[in-house]
Each structure stands twice: as C-alpha cells, then as structure tokens.
Chain A
Amino acid sequence: MTAGEAAALETRGLCKSFGALAVASDINFRLERAARHALIGPNGAGKTSFLDLVTGRFPPSAGRILLGGADVTALAQEQRVKRGLARTFQITTLFRGLSVLDNVCMATSERLGRAGDLFRPAGSRRDVIDGAYASLERLGLADDAPRVVRELPYGRQRLVEIAVALSLKPEVLLLDEPAAGVPSAESGIIVDVIESLPSEIAVLIIEHDMDLVFRLASRITVLVQGKVLVEGTPQEIAANPAVREVYLGERAPT
C-alpha cells in the first residue's frame, strides 16, 4: 500500500468479534477506483460481515475504514451512503409493499436531499420521479415500475436491488451475491447489468459462482475465517495451492 492516489475503499487492520467468534481479523483491503473486484471464500468466511463493517451496520472492534482516502470509521451508515457507498443485500431487502418506482424514488429522494422535506408533496418532485424512472429504464425495469415488489419474480427483485443502489449514484458499489437464488435463465440479465455498470464505479462483488467471478472480476480476494488468505488476479488465484486447498477443497471443483 504505497502513497499515491487514495483507493476508492480501504480497510486497515479491520477486526470484529462477537464474543469468542472473530468474523474479521486484521483485514487490510484495497478497492481501487473503477476496479472490478471479487470477494470469495467458503461459507462463514465473513464476507457479508465484511460488507456490514464497511457500510457501518455494526462498528468494528478495531481498525479503520477509508472511503476515497477519508476516514469514515466513526460515521453512521447513512453518512457513508451520502459519501458514495452503496450496497445490495444477499437476502433481498426492499420495501416489499411498495411499487418498484416507489422503491427507487425513495433512494433518489434521499440522494437529492429531499427526503427530510415535511411539507411539499412527494408527488410534486419531478426531479426525483424522473431520476428514478431513468434508473429503472436503464436496467430495463420500466415495465415493472408500477408493480408491487413482493409480486415480482425473484430475479426481477434482485435487479430492483441493484437499481436502488445505482440510483444513489455511488462511487463504490458493494454487491452481495447479486445472482444468488436466481434461476440461471434470469441470472444472465443480472450479469449483463453488472458488466455494463458505469466504469467509473468501483465494484466489489461477493459471489460463489466461480464462472461469474472469473467473468466479472479483474482482482480477487480470498477470505477464510475472517482473514485475507490471498489476493491477486484471477489467474493467480486459480493457480494458488492454498486457495485450492481451502476454498476449492470445500466446494465441488467447478
């Protein structure tokens, strides 16, 4: 880690334990600007916990988190979002009783700083609605705009998650198993969407499907038991004996 341009996201000596269980120990991690970076590891390796730490869902026991070079360790979750950090969840987390458009409007309205407005009607915010509509169109979700989220097929819901995250106009986007649980016929659309994300966004993706990882990522970090086992290019990772032993050993070789 040399001086120079600050990484889009960086953690230094990040630790977190719940009682005796250490979900993160001394994680030093850099997500470069505009990177396509994958985080892999066996189940329970602490991948999602790492995302939770970075986004501020819970505070670390030790260590620092830097966003674009600025220390955000002490900032609340929402303040990190305001600084350009967005995520999707492994288990779809949306406003299930609201329409797709409402879901995206809510995020857009937060980004534009309108969401605290007590008196102007939400429906009169053209900028919000048009912005939200545009994000939906971009992901091919315009048809679904009026539909209530819980009535959508799962694959579409996953797309809405991404649309919501994108409507925050993030500089760093964390995707937690975006295609998990989606039938393969539909997961193709999600992969296409991820591949066509604006290149200036730094993307960190947690994924189990190794084909997907190799297709999407130019750098890979392997996490095992809350520790970084190794980091490198896909070729280096594929050739690394320790990875083969720990990671591929647990899963059926693909």
Chain B
Amino acid sequence: MMARNHSRSLISVADGLRELFSLAATAGSGGGAARRTPSQMPNAVDVLRRSHRLRPLETLPWLVAAAAFFLLPDYLALGAQILLAVLFALSLDLILGYAGIVSLGHAAFFGVGAYAAGLLAVHGWGEPLSGLVVAGIAAGLIGMLSGAVILRTRGLTLLMLTLMIAAMLQEAANKAGAITGGTDGLQGMQVSPVFGLFRFDVFGHTAYVYCLTVLFLGWLAARRIVHSPFGRGLIGIRESEERMRAIGSPVFRRRLVIYAISAALAGIAGGLMAQTTQFVALDALGFERSGTVLIMLILGGVGRLYGAFIGAPLYMILQDRFAQQDPVYWYFWIGLLLVLVVVFARGGVLGIGERLVRRRSRRS
C-alpha cells in the first residue's frame, strides 16, 4: 500500500507539473489537454499491475530486525515485545487504516489470544505453535461473533461498542479469577521449546527469532490481503460505503471478514506475549492497551501497512528509555505528543516522510 500511495502521490505530482506546463501551452494553442494523451493510459495500467510487487524499501524492516539480533544481544527480550507489538499494531491497521473502522477496544482480541495461549500452557499444553494457532482462532472467533453484532452500527455507536466489548471481556476475566487468576494475573505457564528444539531462554534469543518469524508470516498475509481485490475493496469501503453498495459489494460481509482476520492477528500477538513473558495480566484486555496500540499506529502512520513497523518500535523504545525512570512524565509527554500529532502531523512519521518527498520532488 505504501508503494501504491507513493506512486499515486508521484502521479499527482507529475500531474501538477503537467498542469502547469499545459497552462503555459494553452495560452498559445488552447490544446493543453491534448498534451497528456498517448502514453498515459498504459502508465495507469502499469502502475496498478505493478502495485503489489515487492519494492526494495520493503525489505528494510527485516534487515533492521536481523541486524538488531546480532548487534543488540542485550535487548532481545525487549525486541521480542516490540516485534509482537508491531504485529498487534499491524492488525489494527487492517481495520482502521483500510476498512476505516475506529476501534477503542482492539485489546479485546489481544487479550483473548493471550489468555487462550496462556491457559493452554498453564494446563499442560506447552507446545507454542499450536498454542498460537489456538490463540488466533479464539480471538478470530470472538472477533467474528462480536463483529457480527456491532459492525451493523456506525460512527460513535460503533466506537462505543468496541470499547464495551473489551470492557466486558476484561470484567469477565477479572471476575473469573478461578480460571484467569483475576487481578493477580495468569501465572505458572510451562512453554515447551519451539519445534521441541529451541528453549525460551532468559536472554530472549528464542523469543526474538520466534516473534520475528511469526511477525514475518503475519506481514506476508496482511500484505497479500491489502493488495488483493478484497483489500482494494476495503479501501473502497473506507472512502465511500455508499458507492461500494452501489457497485454491488456486500459491505457488511467484507467488514466482518477483515474484522475477524484482524482479531485473529491481534490474538496471535497476544499469544506471543503470553508465551514469551509467561504471564498474562488483566491489562492485556484493558483500555490503555487499546489506546496504546492506536497511538503506536498513529505515530507511524495509518493505512500504509508500514506504520506499525515504525510506530511500535518508536513507542516501545521511547517508553523503555523514559518510562522506567518516571512513568508519570512518560504519560505526560506521550499525551502531549499525541495532541501535537493530531494538530500538526496527521499521517504520522510516514505521512511526514511522504510530504517531504513530495515537497522535494516538486522543487526539483
């Protein structure tokens, strides 16, 4: 999607320039429009045909992640948490950035996945991969069920209902202390080695590689979805539901499908957290987590598929630097940052990058 947006903005830049040229030309001949005929159409088709191809820049996050493994061995435990946060934010991007569903309760699915994987490990099913699958399925099911109910609404009501679902689940987990450990959190997990070979070590070597691999697979899936006709249709829904219906698109079903997929991915992220930290607290389902993932995505940039890859590490690293010393200040600054982003920098880091690129190419 970044690729598409990018090429789209380049097209509009080129168009702007052409407009200028044709204005100058029309002064003489009046034939401005004729200037941009013959070669254009194949271009537009080509842009569309090439939109899903991998661009060199897209390998960057993976190179960075691989480099970090070797260069920052002391930070791998944190790194694993960052990677699963990226996956969580990526899952949110699918519904928020593509289908335009604003959720205040995305932690619901993260938490369901975390508790699902955690409970399995507590009760003797320590095999991590199947645990993740179960986490994904459980969260996906909850996403499908709740989505089937709440996605019939729009706007503020929907916003409220997403919040309500998460609050309900959190309250349920809180009150079902016998199963979930309640406010003490879920403890006592026995997670087996991955493939029976790689034990989760205290330095986080296994956790890091494990999270990175899962994130990579999640990213592959998300990327495919975004570039598929279905994904294009989600953008259509975000742009105009009315128009989508008028061209015969089953909008409700489309929204429900992506909601469930997003929930499943969030659940897998939650499962990763449970398995790598061997602990699940009630805040896995909490409003703060829903808010935080939203912030991560906003900081990076929404609807670009890569916002999560920038926003989540940025947030987590800053938090690691500053929050340990003084969480009070941390919340103040992150709040202020958020206000500033809304007022001055909509589109997050990627948005700023795009604007800079656009400005530069306009100047040249």
Interfacial residues, chain A to chain B (CB-CB below 8 A): 55, 57, 76-79, 81-82, 86-87, 89, 93-99, 101-102, 105-107, 109-111, 114-125, 128-129, 133, 136-137, 142-143, 145-148, 151, 164-165, 168
Contact = CB atoms under 8 A, between A and B. Distances in A.
Given A122-B48, A146-B44, A116 B230 contact: yes
A130 B339 CA distance: 46
Contacts of B48: 101-102, 105, 122-123, 129
A154 to B, nearest CB: 16
Q: How large is the interface on B (under 10, 10 to 19, 20 to 34, 35 or more residues)?
A: 35 or more
13 contacts: A86-B247, A87-B246, A95-B236, A99-B8, A116-B233, A116-B254, A117-B228, A123-B48, A137-B41, A143-B36, A146-B47, A148-B11, A148-B12
Nearest to A111: B248
Contact of A122 (B51, B240, B248): B51
A138 to B, nearest CB: 13
The 3 closest A-B pairs by CB, nearest first: A81-B248, A121-B52, A146-B44
B243 A95 contact: yes
B228 A82 contact: no
Contacts of B240: 93-96
A122 B236 CA distance: 13
Interface string B215-239: 0000000001101111111011001
A122 B15 contact: no
Contacts of B45: 101, 129, 133, 145
Contact of B245 (A78, A114, A128, A146): A78
Contact of A168 (B40, B235, B245, B248): B248
Contacts of B11: 99, 146-148
Nearest to B19: A151
A76 B253 CA distance: 12
Contacts of B247: 81, 86, 106-107, 110-111, 164, 168
Contacts of B244: 106
A123 B229 CA distance: 8
Contacts of B248: 77-79, 81-82, 107, 110-111, 168
Contact of B250 (A57, A76, A101, A111): A76
A55 B242 CA distance: 12
Contacts of A101: 44-45, 48
Given A87-B246, A99-B44, A118-B224, 19 more contacts: A57-B245, A78-B248, A82-B248, A89-B246, A93-B243, A95-B239, A96-B240, A99-B8, A99-B11, A106-B244, A115-B232, A116-B254, A122-B48, A122-B229, A122-B231, A123-B49, A123-B50, A124-B52, A142-B41
A109 B232 CA distance: 10
A57 to B, nearest CB: 8
Contact of A98 (B53, B231, B239, B254): B239
A77 B257 CA distance: 19
B229 A128 contact: yes
Interface string B44-84: 11011111110000000000000000000000000000000
Contacts of A128: 229
A116 B44 CA distance: 23
A122 B228 CA distance: 5
Nearest to B52: A121
B258 to A, nearest CB: 9
B227 A121 contact: yes
Contacts of B228: 117-122
A106 B251 CA distance: 13
Given A118-B225, A119-B228, A146-B43, A81 B246 contact: yes
B250 A143 contact: no
A109 B249 CA distance: 10
B249 to A, nearest CB: 5
A122 B243 contact: no
A102 B44 CA distance: 9
A116 B225 CA distance: 10
A122 B232 contact: yes
A143 B40 contact: yes
B184 to A, nearest CB: 41
Given A98-B239, A105-B232, A117-B230, A110 B15 contact: no
B37 interface: yes
Nearest to A148: B12
A145 B37 CA distance: 11
Contacts of A95: 235-236, 239-240, 243
B33 interface: yes
Given A120-B228, A124-B52, A146 B233 contact: no
A122 B52 contact: yes
B47 A106 contact: no
A122 B235 CA distance: 13
A102 B236 CA distance: 9
Contacts of A76: 250
Contact of B52 (A123, A136, A146): A123
Interface in B1-42: 8, 11-12, 15, 33, 36-37, 40-41
Contact of B224 (A55, A119, A137): A119
B2 to A, nearest CB: 15
